[in-house]
Structure 1
C-alpha cells in the first residue's frame, strides 16, 4: 500500500522573542494526512501562518517538533537542493522560495524522486486577461491527473476568487487560531463561523451565492 502523499505528523512551529528569556510570540500546529492526488484549497486570515505552513511542507522552515512526510519521506531529512523533487513552493508570481540551511547537505539523504509530488501555490496572481485563468486551472487539473497533490492558497478579496476555489478545489484547509482544520468541501468551509468571520459580509454573501446550502447545513 502506497504511503500518503503528504502527512503533517504532529508538526508544531513556535516563534519566540527575547535575548535572555525566550517568550513565544506565535505557535502553529497541525496533524493531518492528505492521502491521494487532488487539489486542496487553503484559506485563512493574514498572519495566521499559511506561508509558514507551506514552508514547513516544502522543507525550507523546520518545525519545532513533528515531521513532514512526502510519500513516506521526511522532507527535512533530504538534501536541500533536492527537496523540490518532493514538494515545491511557488510564492506569488510563481517564484520558488529559498531554503534555510541548518545542517550540512552532506549529512542529509538524497530525494527518492526526481520530480515534485506536491505543488504548493501561495497566493498566485491570476491574470484576468482572456483565457489565462482557464489555462491555470487546466494546469492544476493536469498536475492532479498526473498523480500530484496541488495545494492552492488564496486570500479572497473578490467574488471571482471564491469562484476559483469552489470550482477547482475538492478539499480545503482553514488556517486560523494557531491550527489547521480540514474541510471536506467548499460548503463545509463557508458554513464554518470562523471562515465567515474571516471573509466578512461582502465575501460571505458571495460565498453563499455560490453554495446556497452552506448556511442551512451549519444550523
Structure 2
C-alpha cells in the first residue's frame, strides 16, 4: 500500500521569548493525513501560522515536536538540498529555501523521489489579465492529475479570491486559534464562525452569495 502523500503527526511549533524565563508567544498544532492527490485551499487570519505550517511541511522550519512525513519519509531527516524533491514552497511565486542546518547533511537521508510530490503556493499573485487565472488553475489541476498534492493559501480580500478557492479546492484547511482544522467543502467552510469572523461582514456576504449560486447551479 502506498504511503500517504502528507502526514503531520502530532506536529507542534512553539515560539518563546525571554532571556531567563522563556515564555511561549505563539503555538501552532496540526495533526492530519492527506493520503491521495488533491487541491487543498488554506485560509486563516494574518499571523495565525499559515506560512509556519508551510515551512514545517517543506522542512525549512523544524517543529518543536511531532513529525512531518511526505510519501512516508520524514522530510526533516532528508538532506537539505534534496528536500524540495519531496515538497516545495512558493511564497508569492518565489521558491522559499531557508534551512537551519542543525545536522550535517552527510548524516541525513537522500530524497526517495526525484521531483516534489507536494506543491505549496503561499498567497500566489494572480494576474487579472485575460486568461492568466485560468492558466494557473489548469496548472494546479495538471499537478493533481500527475499524482501531486497541491496546497494553495489565499488571503481573500476580494470576491474573486473566494471564487478561486471555491473553484479549485476540493477541501480546506482553516488555520486559526493555534490549530489547523479540515473543512470538507466551501459551504461548510463558509458556515465556520472563525472563518466568517476572519472574512468580516462584506466578504462573508460574498461567500454566502457564492455558495447560493453554486447550489442553484447544481439543482
TM > 0.5 between the two? Answer: yes
Which category describes the TM-score, using the shorter chain as reference length?
Answer: over 0.9
Partner SS for 1:51: helix
- In structure 1, the residue matched to 2:217 is none
- In structure 2, the residue matched to 1:217 is none
1:17-28 correspondence runs (5 A): 17-28=17-28
- In structure 1, the residue matched to 2:49 is 49
1:212 aligns with 2:208: no
Change in CA separation of 1:35 and 1:157 when aligned onto 2, cut-off 3 Å: same
- In structure 2, the residue matched to 1:36 is 36
C-alpha distance after superposition, 1:121-175 (max 9, x if no partner):
0000110111110000000000000000000000000000000000000010000
Distance in 2 of aligned mates of 1:98 and 1:139? 25
- In structure 2, the residue matched to 1:103 is 103
- In structure 2, the residue matched to 1:77 is 77
- In structure 2, the residue matched to 1:183 is 183
| TM-score normalised by the chain length of structure 2 | 0.96
Distance in 1 of aligned mates of 2:200 and 2:4? 35
1:195 aligns with 2:195: yes
**Is residue 90–residue 97 contact of structure 1 (8 Å, CA) maintained in 2?**
no
**Is residue 42–residue 173 contact of structure 1 (8 Å, CA) maintained in 2?**
yes
| TM-score normalised by the chain length of structure 1 | 0.96
Q: 1:69 offset after TM fit, Å?
A: 0.4
Q: 1:102 offset after TM fit, Å?
A: 1.6
**Is residue 88–residue 95 contact of structure 2 (8 Å, CA) maintained in 1?**
no
Q: 1:213 offset after TM fit, Å?
A: 8.8
**Is residue 93–residue 121 contact of structure 2 (8 Å, CA) maintained in 1?**
no
* Structure 1 unmatched runs, 5+: 215-219
Partner SS for 2:116: coil
Distance in 2 of aligned mates of 1:66 and 1:202? 38
Cα RMSD between the aligned structures?
A: 1.2
Q: 1:107 offset after TM fit, Å?
A: 0.9
Distance in 1 of aligned mates of 2:12 and 2:213? 35
Partner SS for 2:60: coil
**Is residue 44–residue 175 contact of structure 2 (8 Å, CA) maintained in 1?**
yes
Distance in 2 of aligned mates of 1:86 and 1:129? 32
Distance in 1 of aligned mates of 2:100 and 2:212? 44
* Structure 2 unmatched runs, 5+: 215-219
Number of residue pairs aligned between Structure 1 and Structure 2: 214
Partner SS for 2:16: strand
